[in-house]
């Protein structure tokens, strides 16, 4: 699912380590790193495994689906970027592979959100960069 978010969100400044993550999002895919030595999933992008410290990490495509771990409703804008957006749903999603990602929820109201609900990725255009958001399955 692709949506256009208004106003334009703050866009990331990719580093050499995180560039593959952003490139995958631009191609409507979710990729995170997996350690070739211990098979642990690594998120956020790093140069070493967060489990065993190996430098042998491979970018691996995943579904991006997961469950809602926790959330909050921002009733006031957290930055000027979010002016005019009522009840912004800031969330942490536990991906099916295990890592947790911070995101915002799309296509759902505050009264409909439940911890543990299934979520799917949403790719939001932000100019030249695509951002990862989530919506109910």
Q: Which domains does the chain have, with CATH numbers?
A: 15-62 (no CATH), 64-137 (2.40.50)
Residue with tokens 């998120």: 43
% the chain with pLDDT above 90: 77
Contact 46, 15 (CB under 8 A): no
pLDDT confidence band for 1 (50 / 70 / 90): low
pLDDT digit string, tens, across residues 84-108: 777 889 999 999 999 999 999 999 9
CA atoms lying within 13 Å on the CB side of residue 39: 1
pTM reported for the whole predicted model: 0.86
Of the candidates 69, 74, 65, which has an alpha carbon nearest to the alpha carbon of residue 115?
A: 69
């Amino acid at each position: 699912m692709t949506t256009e978010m208004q106003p334009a969100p703050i866009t990331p400044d990719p580093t050499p380590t995180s560039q593959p993550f952003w490139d995958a999002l631009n191609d409507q895919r979710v990729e995170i790193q997996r350690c070739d030595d211990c098979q642990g999933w690594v998120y956020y992008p790093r140069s070493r495994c967060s489990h065993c410290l190996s430098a042998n990490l491979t970018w691996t495509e995943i579904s991006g689906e997961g469950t809602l771990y926790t959330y909050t409703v921002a009733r006031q804008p957290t930055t000027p970027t979010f002016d005019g957006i009522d009840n912004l749903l800031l969330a942490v999603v536990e991906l099916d592979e295990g890592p947790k990602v911070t995101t915002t929820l799309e296509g759902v109201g505050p009264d409909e959100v439940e911890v543990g609900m299934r979520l799917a990725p949403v790719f939001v255009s932000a100019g030249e960069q695509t951002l990862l958001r989530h919506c109910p399955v």
